Structure 1
Amino acid sequence: MGFYFSVTGLNWESSAIGSVRKGKMRKVKTDAIADVYFKQSQPLGFYNGSNWIVSKNGIQWRPALHVLQIPSSQDTAIIPSDSGTRILLEDFVTVGALVLAGQNISNETFNDSFLPSIEGQYQFDLAPKLKSARSIDGINFQWPKFRNIVTIVGETEAKHSAGQFNSNLEAEKLALICSYQQCQSKTAPKCSRMLRPIGHCCEICGSMLRFRATLFNFDKFQKQVENYKKENRIVNKYELDIASLRIDHNDSLPQYQIVVLAREDATHPFDEQIYRGILKDLAGFVQNNFGVLHSMTVTEIEEIVSVDFHSFVKDDLILALISLLAVSAIVIGVILAIRRNFDFTNFRGLSKQNSVYEAVHWRGAKTEDELELLRNEGPISHTVRDGVQNSSMKSASEYSSTFENIAFDEEIVDDIKEK
C-alpha cells in the first residue's frame, strides 16, 4: 500500500522561474512582468495524518483510523519529485519502502548519503533529539545523530498470513500521531456510549470486535474486507470505513481488532442498526478465515464494544464454538460405544501410546513451596505399534522434580543474610 505526501508547499506569484540559496527567501530579477518569490512554509510533520493520502489499486483515500493514516513498516512512503515543502521527522521512522523523487531509496543511501547532503537539508528537518548543529562556512547545518533515523524494512521482513504488528502502535509514535488530531467536543455526543479503539486518538460512535485466534488468515480476511467495502452499498452510502489491525506485539496468540467507524468527512447521522449489520457481516468473515477448517483453533472473544448493542456477535461465535464442542463430544461418545463392542487393536494401541504429559503445580505457602512436574514413563512414540501396549502413569513421587523456592525458606534466607 502506498502513502503519498500530499502537500507541495510551493506558492508562486508568477510563472517565472525562481531560485533559493542558503535556505533564505531570495528575490530574483527576470524579464518577466513580475518578480518571483519562493515562500517557504513551516515543515510539515511526517506523523501528521493530514499530510498523507493512501493509494492502492488506483484508488486514493484517507483511512478513518488515525494510526492507519501514516505509513508503517508494512507500507511504501512516496514523496513526489515536485514536493517543495520540508518534511519534519519528529521521531524515528520505520517504513516498508521509501520512494523519493521517483526512485526507491535504501537505508544506506538515505541515512548515510542523502540526509546529510545539501538536498537533504532542504528536504527534511530533523527533531532536536535527532540532530546536532554544525556550522560550515558560516552556514548552520543539521547533522544526523543516528544512522537509523529512517529504517526501510524492504523485503527482509517476512510476510505472515496471520498479519503483523503495526509499528505506529508503539506508544511514542502513537502519541505523535495524536498530537496532530483534534477531537470533537463530548458535550453533544451522537450516541449514548462512545468508544475509543486501539490506534485511534478520539472517542467515536461505532462498533468494534476484538478477539484472539490461532491459525487465522488475516491477510485473506483483509482482502475480503476490501472487496466488501467496495461492493457494499450501505458502507458507501453512509460513508463508513472498516479498519482491521493486528494489535498484539507479535505474541504467540495473535490479537486482532476490527472497527466500523465513520469517515472524517461523513455527513450521515449515526444509525445503530447499520453498524450492527456490518459488524455481523464481518464476524462471518472472521469465522470463515481460520487456517484449518473444522478444527478446534484457540479462540478467545475478548471484547465487543459498540452503542447499545446486545452481544450478538459474541453470542454467535460462542454458539458456534459450543456447537462444535457438542458435535465433538457426540463423535467421541459414539467411538467409545463402538469400542466396547468391537476389538479394534490398532485403535486401542494408538490411544494407549506413551506421550509426554506435564502438570505444573505451584504452592505459594511457606510450608508448601514446591514446583512439581509429573511425567509419563518412556519416550514419545510416533507410530502405531502392532498389538496392545500396556503403559500407565507412574506415581507423582517417582517421576516428580522438586524445586525449592528459597524466598519462602526462612532458614536459608537467614544463612544467606549472615554470609
Structure 2
Amino acid sequence: MVSGKSFDLSMLWTIEGQFQFVLAPKMKSDVIIDDIAYQWPKFTNTVTVSGPGVQRSPFGKFNSNAEPNVMSIICSYQRCPDVDGMCMAAFQPVGHCCSICGSMITFRGTGINFDALSERLRRFQTESAFVHIFHLDVSLLRIDHDEIIPQYQIVVLGPSSAAFDQRVYFETLQEVVEVLYNTYEYTNEMSLFDLKKTYSKDLHGFGIVDAIIVLFFLCVISAIIFGIAMTIRQYHADPRVRQLFLESSAIHALTVRWQSNKREEDQLELLSSEIDDAVLTSDEEHSPVIVSFVFSSL
C-alpha cells in the first residue's frame, strides 16, 4: 500500500513516476531540481494504491475525488453537454460534473457488502438485454463520509449522444433494484434501508420503444394490405381463383326447405336463397334451381 508522502517520495520523484502520473495544471506545482523539472502535487493525500493483500472495508470507502474542492478543479476541465433538449428532470449525481438524463437510486443500509454488490452489478451488465442494446453503464459509489450507516448511489447512464427513453432507464433500474435486494444481507443487528429512486422523463413523451412498436404495427398493416392486393390481383388474373370464390358463394346461397306432402311422403328441397317465399309457390317456373329428395314415412 502506497499513500500520501510515501507515494510522493517513492513514485513522483522518479523519472518513471513523472511519466506514469500526469497531474492537471491546477493540481500540481512545478519543482526544478538539478535542472530537471518535476511535477509536485498540491494535496498531501493525492492517491492511494492498494494491492491484493490490503484489507478492505466490506462497506466500501468514500472517494476523496468527490470532495467539493477537488471536484471543482476536475470539473473545470470538462465541458457539459446540453441536456435540456434531451429530457426533463435531469439530475446531477455525486461524483458527476454534469447533469445527466438517466435513472438513479440512493440508499442506506448496514447489510451492504460493497464488493459483493459491485460483482453482482458487473454480472448484471453482461447479462441484461437493455444494457447491451442501449449501451448503458451502471456505476456504484459510496457517497457518505464514513458515517455509521453507509449511504450508496447507483446510477444508470447511457451515451450522451443517444436518444433518451425513460422506459428503458425505468426498466433497467427496476432490474438493478432486484439485484440489490438479492445482495442485501439482513442481520440480527439494527439496520436501516432507505431507498430513493430518481428518473429523468421523456421530453416529448415518445421514446425509442414507442417508435419500435409503431414500426412493428405499420409493418403488420402493410403486410395485410399487400396480401389483400395480391388476392384481388389473382382473382382477376386466374380463372381458378374466381371459380373457387364462385363455388364458395354458391354453397352459402343454398337454403333447406321441408315441404309436407298430402301423401305419405315428405319432400326436402335445396333452394337458392335469392328466391323469396312468393316465388316458391311456382314449381314449374323455377324447377331448375330446386333439388328435391323424397322420404317415405314409416
TM-score (norm 1): 0.41
Residue equivalent to 1:270: 164
Asked whether the equivalents of residues 138 and 154 of structure 2 are also in contact (C-alpha less than 8 Å), the reply is yes
> What are the Cα deviations for residues 184-222 of structure 1, in whole angstroms up to 9, with x where unaligned?
124x42112211111111111111111111122222121
Q: Any unmatched runs of 5+ in structure 1?
A: 1-95, 99-105, 310-419
> What are the Cα deviations for residues 337-363 of structure 1, in whole angstroms up to 9, with x where unaligned?
xxxxxxxxxxxxxxxxxxxxxxxxxxx
Within 2, Cα distance between the matches of 1:308 and 1:147? 40
TM-aligned CA distance change 1:216 to 1:150, over 3 Å: closer
Counterpart secondary structure, 1:288: helix
Asked whether the equivalents of residues 107 and 151 of structure 1 are also in contact (C-alpha less than 8 Å), the reply is no
Asked whether the equivalents of residues 121 and 141 of structure 1 are also in contact (C-alpha less than 8 Å), the reply is no
Q: Alignment partner for residue 176 of structure 2, among 246, 257, 282? A: 282
> What are the Cα deviations for residues 142-169 of structure 1, in whole angstroms up to 9, with x where unaligned?
4858895654443586312222212221
Q: Which protein shows a greater Rg?
A: 2
Asked whether the equivalents of residues 107 and 152 of structure 1 are also in contact (C-alpha less than 8 Å), the reply is no
Identity %: 31
Residue equivalent to 2:198: 305
TM-aligned CA distance change 1:217 to 1:121, over 3 Å: closer
TM-aligned CA distance change 1:115 to 1:230, over 3 Å: same
Structure with higher helix content = 2
Within 2, Cα distance between the matches of 1:221 and 1:124? 30
More RCO (CA 8 Å, sep 6+): 2
> What are the Cα deviations for residues 126-148 of structure 1, in whole angstroms up to 9, with x where unaligned?
65875464464xx3644858895
Within the alignment, does 1:227 sit opposite 2:119 as a pair?
Answer: no
Q: How many residues align?
A: 200
> What are the Cα deviations for residues 209-254 of structure 1, in whole angstroms up to 9, with x where unaligned?
1111112222212111111101112111111111111111111110
Shift, 1:295, TM fit:
7.8
Structure 1 residue identity aligned to 2:103: S
Residue equivalent to 1:248: 144
Q: Any unmatched runs of 5+ in structure 2?
A: 203-298
Residue equivalent to 2:290: none
Within 2, Cα distance between the matches of 1:172 and 1:232? 37
Shift, 1:277, TM fit:
0.8
Within 1, Cα distance between the matches of 2:78 and 2:32? 34
Within 2, Cα distance between the matches of 1:172 and 1:284? 35
TM-aligned CA distance change 1:150 to 1:227, over 3 Å: same
Structure 2 residue identity aligned to 1:305: T
Asked whether the equivalents of residues 60 and 115 of structure 2 are also in contact (C-alpha less than 8 Å), the reply is yes
Asked whether the equivalents of residues 218 and 289 of structure 1 are also in contact (C-alpha less than 8 Å), the reply is no
Within 2, Cα distance between the matches of 1:236 and 1:129? 37
Q: Alignment partner for residue 170 of structure 1, among 63, 67, 81? A: 67
TM-aligned CA distance change 1:177 to 1:118, over 3 Å: closer
> What are the Cα deviations for residues 273-306 of structure 1, in whole angstroms up to 9, with x where unaligned?
11111111111222222223698631223x3221
- 5 Å matches for 1:141-220? 141-142=37-38, 144=40, 150-155=46-51, 158-186=55-83, 188-220=84-116
Residue equivalent to 2:13: 116
Root mean square deviation of aligned Cα: 3.5
Residue equivalent to 1:239: 135
TM-aligned CA distance change 1:192 to 1:143, over 3 Å: closer
Within 2, Cα distance between the matches of 1:278 and 1:190? 19
Structure 2 residue identity aligned to 1:171: P
Asked whether the equivalents of residues 207 and 260 of structure 1 are also in contact (C-alpha less than 8 Å), the reply is yes
Within the alignment, does 1:257 sit opposite 2:148 as a pair?
Answer: no
Asked whether the equivalents of residues 27 and 43 of structure 2 are also in contact (C-alpha less than 8 Å), the reply is no
TM-aligned CA distance change 1:160 to 1:152, over 3 Å: closer
